[in-house]
Structure 1
Amino acid sequence: MVGVVERQYSNGVDQTVSLATASSVPGDNYLKVRFVGGGGPDGAPTLGFQRFTETGMSREMARAAPGVAMRRASTFLQNAYGPFSYASGRSRGGDTCIYAWQQIRSRSGGIGRDLGMIQVRARLCDTDASERELLNVMYGFTITGSFGGKIWNPYGLPSAVDTSIGAVGKPVYPDAPKTVAISYGHRTPAPVRVRVVSAPKPRATAAKADAAVITGPRVPLPGSAGAPSAASAGGEDAGGQTPPQATVTVPSPACMGANAKTPACN
């Protein structure tokens, strides 16, 4: 609900309840409720009675949803307040629209009783909703207004108790029969699945070698410049003399493998 505009008349009240609109069709979504009967402010204009006719509904639909070809539904429908009718159509941009109307009036009305009347009109257009989803509004609204005095009661006498209660051969089960679910509201975008591909793990030996090259200290070969002496590595001997360094000979690459036994390499 976005807002409510109310107009008072000498014989009734007219309300337009504006609803949130997400559509490219010109105009806003709304519920129009008209209470006919009772007394209003002195000097206010008179609210004329308008019957629901084929010609009148066609004109109202054309004004409510311009450019949309509306087709009246032939199915009998009824909400908590009685029967209602509607028409639906789709715009060139793909929007779904419905225009519904309902008249609430007592069947037992007569002289001096149940003379009030309520008319409801609904205009709904949406870019994403289906016809059945938009139709949910006609089942979900509740009329909280009332007339002053029983003479204007538009609902008539209360309905009689269901004859099946207490009767033989009329079982009543704990679970009510299931009905078709109809809903309408803002939709949450479906989550997008992302496929995660794990990179192959490097071999353990390669990882250790890379770590030694990158993070490990540079260790010089024994006997080369900068190599630690036995004193720095293990201290002086028992006699206070520095032990002689061991001489290490690095073989030539030509003396590796089977060539290690040749005279040139010995």
Structure 2
Amino acid sequence: MHLLKLIALLTLAIFGTSCTTTGGVRQSGGAETIPSDKALAFPPPGGPAIVNVVERRHGNDVEQMISLSTSSTVPGQNFVKVLFLAVSGSTPGLGSTPYKMISEAEIAREIAATIPGVRLSRSATFVQNTYGPFGYAAGRSRAGDTCLYAWQQIRAGRSTPAQQRNFSMVQVRLRLCDARATERQLLSTVYGYTIAGGFEGESLNPYGTPRGADALLGRPGDPIYPDVGGYRNSQMAIGYEARTTAVRPAIVNHRTVIQPKAVTVAPPQAVGPHIALPDPQGGTPQTGAVTAPAQISGQGQRGTMGTNGIVVPSPDCIGDAGTTAACRK
């Protein structure tokens, strides 16, 4: 009996505890969306624009998927994926995320997953941007869209574990597809993107030691020209000869004075069909071509007489000029 009572009491205790358990949901420390200005990498000025940024943290490592604006019929989203691998424990160069060396098979799987249905050809040309060498593959879809996939690993070099220098690294992936852009235009994004993050420890800097100034700066005997190749390979020459300059027109009141050109006017000719002209004496009308008006010569050229006997005053005798003695005659 005592055993049965003990079992009953334990059963009630278990059910009582389960009834008091809350059903709340606890958010895990996985991926989260962060503002665009917190991105660890940015496309070059002019785009493509950042749509959103999803960040994942794995211990000391940080991974960001930076989605970019996409104008393409190819399924998928353009993006810049950046992964910061920090130093963890006694294994320099490896953080909490297992490090995988870039391989042909891995890149092929990434391309097939991010750009499905488009055949890309890997470029055999050695290229590098401001962060070092990178690889890329490009191709066109059946609809004519241009696609590019690029990959890069940024790491300064190797050092002994005791020095603990330059062991961290950054891995970058870029997926770009566009219906109007060319391969060169998409490739310019790989050359122009900027990494806006780094590790707190200066000794873990994956970009290497900053390069010093050029040894030619300030040294006598080594002129530096504003263009590549010096004056021998450019339009810049040492010395110059005086050259005749073109005469410019005079400027009056900030306006160019243009001298009028002489215009030659041909004398009037007989034109038109034969028409009847009235006789000034009331006789029979005369028939003939219209001829040029006759000039009345005299001091001041007072007027011109046409074929119909009407005297047309000279322009010199119109208005106030008509009061002159020559016009009164």
**Other-structure match for 2:181:** 129
1:4 counterpart (44, 50, 53)? 53
Contact 2:158–2:167 (CA<8 Å) still a contact in 1?
no
Query: Is 1:25 the counterpart of 2:74 in the alignment?
Result: yes
How many residues are matched? 172
Instruction: Tell me by how many angstroms 1:156 deviates.
Output: 1.6
C-alpha root-mean-square deviation of aligned residues, in Å?
2.0
Alignment of 1:60-99 (within 5 A): 60-99=110-149
Contact 1:33–1:120 (CA<8 Å) still a contact in 2?
yes
Instruction: Tell me by how many angstroms 1:132 deviates.
Output: 0.3
For residues 191 and 177 of structure 2, what CA distance do their matches in structure 1 show? 17
Q: Which amino acid aligns with 2:133?
A: P
Instruction: Tell me by how many angstroms 1:32 deviates.
Output: 0.2
Instruction: Tell me by how many angstroms 1:38 deviates.
Output: 4.7
Query: Is 1:110 the counterpart of 2:123 in the alignment?
Result: no
Instruction: Tell me by how many angstroms 1:174 deviates.
Output: 2.2
Contact 2:87–2:167 (CA<8 Å) still a contact in 1?
no
Alignment of 1:156-175 (within 5 A): 156-167=208-219, 170-175=222-227
For residues 147 and 186 of structure 2, what CA distance do their matches in structure 1 show? 8
Alpha carbons of structure 1 residues 74 and 169: separation in structure 2 relative to 1, 3 Å:
farther
TM-score, length of structure 2 as denominator length: 0.49
Gaps of 5+ in 1: 40-44, 178-266
For residues 51 and 164 of structure 1, what CA distance do their matches in structure 2 show? 39
Return the structure number with greater relative CO, CA threshold 8 A, min gap 6.
1
Q: Which amino acid aligns with 1:156?
A: G
Superposed CA deviations along residues 89-136 of structure 1, whole A, max 9, x for unmatched, are: 111110100000111001254321111100010000000000000011
Q: Which amino acid aligns with 1:14?
A: E
TM-score, length of structure 1 as denominator length: 0.60
Instruction: Tell me by how many angstroms 1:85 deviates.
Output: 0.9
For residues 74 and 228 of structure 2, what CA distance do their matches in structure 1 show? 40
Instruction: Tell me by how many angstroms 1:47 deviates.
Output: 1.5
Alpha carbons of structure 1 residues 167 and 25: separation in structure 2 relative to 1, 3 Å:
same
Contact 1:108–1:156 (CA<8 Å) still a contact in 2?
no
For residues 206 and 200 of structure 2, what CA distance do their matches in structure 1 show? 11
Gaps of 5+ in 2: 1-49, 89-94, 230-329
For residues 74 and 104 of structure 1, what CA distance do their matches in structure 2 show? 20
Alpha carbons of structure 1 residues 123 and 142: separation in structure 2 relative to 1, 3 Å:
same
**Other-structure match for 1:15:** 64
Superposed CA deviations along residues 135-194 of structure 1, whole A, max 9, x for unmatched, are: 1111221111111212321012122332333456643222468xxxxxxxxxxxxxxxxx
Q: What SS does the aligned partner of 1:134 have?
A: helix
Contact 2:156–2:208 (CA<8 Å) still a contact in 1?
yes
For residues 14 and 164 of structure 1, what CA distance do their matches in structure 2 show? 41
Q: Percent identity?
A: 49
For residues 168 and 87 of structure 1, what CA distance do their matches in structure 2 show? 46
Q: Which has the higher strand share?
A: 2
Q: Which amino acid aligns with 2:119?
A: A
Contact 1:115–1:152 (CA<8 Å) still a contact in 2?
yes
Contact 2:145–2:178 (CA<8 Å) still a contact in 1?
yes
Contact 2:72–2:145 (CA<8 Å) still a contact in 1?
yes
